[in-house]
Chains A and B, each alone.
Chain A
Amino acid sequence: QQQVKQSPQSLIVQKGGISIINCAYENTAFDYFPWYQQFPGKGPALLIAIRPDVSEKKEGRFTISFNKSAKQFSLHIMDSQPGDSATYFCAASRRGFKTIFGAGTRLFVKA
């Protein structure tokens, strides 16, 4: 199976709060799990990515948690800011094969 299921579809968080977006995959052959951030009218841009040999990766306020046995991974945005308001896509891929994207989560951070 090639699907990547992403939830929630939309998310509203207060400024300073934690935003959590979840993704689940089915194909155990995937070996690269990026998150992309997209602002309205712009192309997505890589935010942070992880490979399955580690369970967590942190870059600034952004953390990916990876659970290989459950085939799930999540994005945590700490101290969420209004500037983080965007659509976030998780994805899964392996070299030589097309990337599979989740359906996206629209995040709105209230000031």
Chain B
Amino acid sequence: DGGITQSPKYLFRKEGQNVTLSCEQNLNHDAMYWYRQDPGQGLRLIYYSQIVNDFQKGDIAEGYSVSREKKESFPLTVTSAQKNPTAFYLCASSRPGTMVPKRDTDTQYFGPGTRLTVL
């Protein structure tokens, strides 16, 4: 089955620690995204990548870092510099390619999320 997987589902972090959230997709999508969702809130973009080895800061990138060494993987590291990291983290992918029917290129497909709690 094609899809996006995120691990772990739940993650606990002590203050001062860096943690890395995994995101893998086998949809052959070019673009990948990380969002943060706080209780009762919308989706805030942390980082996005439209192609391998390239990524851009989103609206709330401070305290986070990413890498995109492989098309199918886009891990997010929550560093100790992130002052309030407790949240639900969502990874998504989309395929803004030229060979895909236009109607399919803009849809974002989301993973199941990782809930990070700082102890």
Contacts and interface: CB of A to CB of B under 8 A. Distances in A.
Asked if A and B are interacting partners, one says yes
Interface of A: 6, 32, 34, 36, 41-46, 49, 51, 89, 93-96, 98-99, 101-104, 106
Contact of B96 (A43, A96, A103): A96
Contacts of A44: 43, 90, 110
Contacts of B43: 44, 89, 101, 104
A103 B42 contact: yes
Interface of B: 4, 6, 33, 40-43, 45, 48, 50, 58, 90, 92, 96, 102-103, 105-113, 115
A50 B48 CA distance: 24
A93 B109 contact: no
Main secondary structure of the interface of A (DSSP, over half): loop
Contacts, number: 56
A66 B100 CA distance: 25
A66 B48 CA distance: 28
Contacts of A45: 110
Given A95-B102, A95-B106, 6 more contacts: A32-B106, A43-B110, A43-B112, A46-B109, A49-B107, A103-B41
